Amino acid sequence: MFVHPQEKLNQTSEVTNNNNFNIMPTPENTIPPSLPSIPYPLAQEVDVASVNSFKTVETSHTGDQESLCSDVLERANNPQGIIKMLCELDGGLSIALERVKQDVISAKALATFLKKRASLEEEYGRMMIKMSRSLQESHNTNDTKQGSYGESWMNMLKLHESIGENRVKFAAAIQEISEDVSVLYKETDKSRKNLKDSGHKHEKAIQESETALEKARGKYESHSEDWERTLLQKNGDIPTTSKPRTLTKVFSKQSKSPTQLVKMEEDARNKAEAANATYKQHLNSTNATRHDYYEVHLPRMITSLKDTADECDIGLQYHLARYSYLFENTMMSDALVITPVNEADGPALRKIVEQINNDADFHTYVQNYGAKTRRKIINFDIPYDQYNMSEQAVNIMNPKNIFGVDLAEQMQRDGQEIPLILVKCCEAIEQSGGLRSQGLYRLSGVKSHIERLQALFDRNAEAVDLNAEEHLADVNNITGVLKLWFRELPDPLFTREMYQDFVNASKIADDKKRVLALHERVNNLPDANYSTLKYLMGHLNKVVENQEYNKMNEHNLSIVFGPTLMGTPLPDHSQNDAAGLNDMGLQYKVVETILMSYRSIFVME
């Protein structure tokens, strides 16, 4: 029969020896007696590389600290002591796993280093052998020095070939060590992962068991509280301690009959008994699981991790010793090849170089060459042979610039009555049907094409072919380069000297008198300017004749060519820089009148 804890308060000695659960659970009696108790908190970070560096958190228990540190130092030289210490530490398994992880990373780094070092040594050795053999084979076929130098050179190449062979052997040995270290790394990592998974599995089992225990304890406490309430209600007592709110709620209800109270107390006692049995069952199972983990599995896993770490540590040290021996042996072998101890093994490298006799080699070379030929040197002067450059290159070197060059100077230099650029542009426009191009001379061409035409004319105007398809594709490029040529004349076509005369003539209101005045001034132009203006006006007259198609009448053309042909007046003729702008309408009038009177001015004179 279940006995309530309150009925057993005076039976402490019996409770201690009784297997039934007779007291309320506390944190002390839920912890297995085999678990270690640490008198003060330990540091979370432990240097697993050396147990001697174990540290504790600063506390007021100076005596306990000194005792623990002394115990750590004593265990450092005892493997079993280290294992026991790890079992007692909170997170001991994680510390051991971290230590093995360091071994794994170190082994992987060493394997990578050895593999790359083997690759470098093998490449170095094979390239050295290949280079030495190739130079030995080509020594007699190429024009290299012979004699003592040739012998020393061949011996030096053989010496380097031997060094290359040593390095290839060294690379093969390093590769073998690298493979062994890789096996050690993989086995250590596999063992660590297995032990880590096993530890997580046991820790999860403990966690699940403790969770189930906590739930069972909660149910037990709840049912015990219900039994306590019904027991007090049955006896008509009101509790003076614990949960007054819950009990007050019970007694505030309508009173039950004695029979009902007995029934309620019996049901509550049965539920408390069942909950107590379940709670004790979970408690025993949880304690058994914890005992099994801390006393069996944890020491076993930490021991396995310690063995794994020891095996990896010893393996790494062994393979490093192998590498060091092979490296040292290879270096000694290279040294003996370069400087042999015994003369029977061949001359040293410096001795090979010292055996070269340059004077004797040169004397032998001259004698051998003299025996092959008996020709004598004939001393004579070599004539100068001038290179004839192409016409295109000559034009580039000696261009005949026409842009920015005075009109009279151009015509005198080229021996032309009319500038070639004007003739070629006008003919190209007229022969290609450009006279019917809408907006002729008003629309602008492509700047890059215009600049290219400018460069061609500046190089050699005679060689420019405007009838080429690339130039005729857009007639505005031809009109653009012609207008550019007129704008860049140092002195405008109507000349700055006669600028004011033309402007004054354009102011005459009477048309006939204005034409006569302009005719007189045109006749007073320099010969080069007169012939150029006559040819241009004849061309523009043809443009006007096709104004039905190109929409360019005399007035429109005067707007385009007025400022270009007139330019600006001399400084003496204007009071400010805006004089040319003020005369813009008069400039239009000059060109428009001359163009409208083209026949009376130029043809009928």
Q: Which two tokens stand for residue 170?
A: 């060294």
Write down the pLDDT at residue 172: 94
Write down the pLDDT at residue 354: 82
Give the rounded percent of residues in the chain with a pLDDT score beyond 70.
78
Nearest to 406 by CA among 499, 532, 581: 532
Write down the pLDDT at residue 110: 92
Write down the pLDDT at residue 244: 46
Q: What is the mean pLDDT of the chain?
A: 79
Distance, in Å, from the CA atom of 143 to the CA atom of 151, rounded to the nearest integer, reads 15
Q: Average pLDDT in the 554-559 region?
A: 92
Tens digits of residue pLDDT in 65-97: 455 445 545 545 566 777 778 777 777 788 888
pLDDT top residue among 38 and 170: 170
Per-residue pLDDT band at 604 (split at 50, 70, 90): low
State the fold for domain 401-603: Phosphatidylinositol 3-kinase; Chain A (1.10.555)
Q: Which residues contact 72 (CB under 8 A, 6 or more apart)?
A: 51, 52, 54, 85
Q: Which residues contact 559 (CB under 8 A, 6 or more apart)?
A: 588
Q: Average pLDDT in the 56-72 region?
A: 46
* Secondary structure class of 42 (helix, strand, coil): strand
Write down the pLDDT at residue 21: 32
pTM of the entire predicted model: 0.44
Domain 100-238+252-353 CATH class label: mainly alpha
Write down the pLDDT at residue 542: 93
Tens digits of residue pLDDT in 304-338: 888 888 899 999 999 999 999 999 999 998 888 88
Write down the pLDDT at residue 389: 67
Return residue ranges of the chain for CATH 1.20.1270.60.
Answer: 100-238+252-353
Q: Which two tokens stand for residue 235?
A: 């006896």
Distance, in Å, from the CA atom of 595 to the CA atom of 411, rounded to the nearest integer, reads 24
For residue 152, report the phi and psi dihedrals to the nearest 5 degrees: -60, -40
Return residue ranges of the chain for CATH 1.10.555.10.
Answer: 401-603
**Cβ burial, residue 165 (10 Å; 0-12/13-18/19+):** middle
Distance, in Å, from the CA atom of 137 to the CA atom of 118, rounded to the nearest integer, reads 28
C-beta of residue 353 within 8 angstroms of C-beta of residue 149: no
**Amino acid, single-letter form, for residue 555:** H
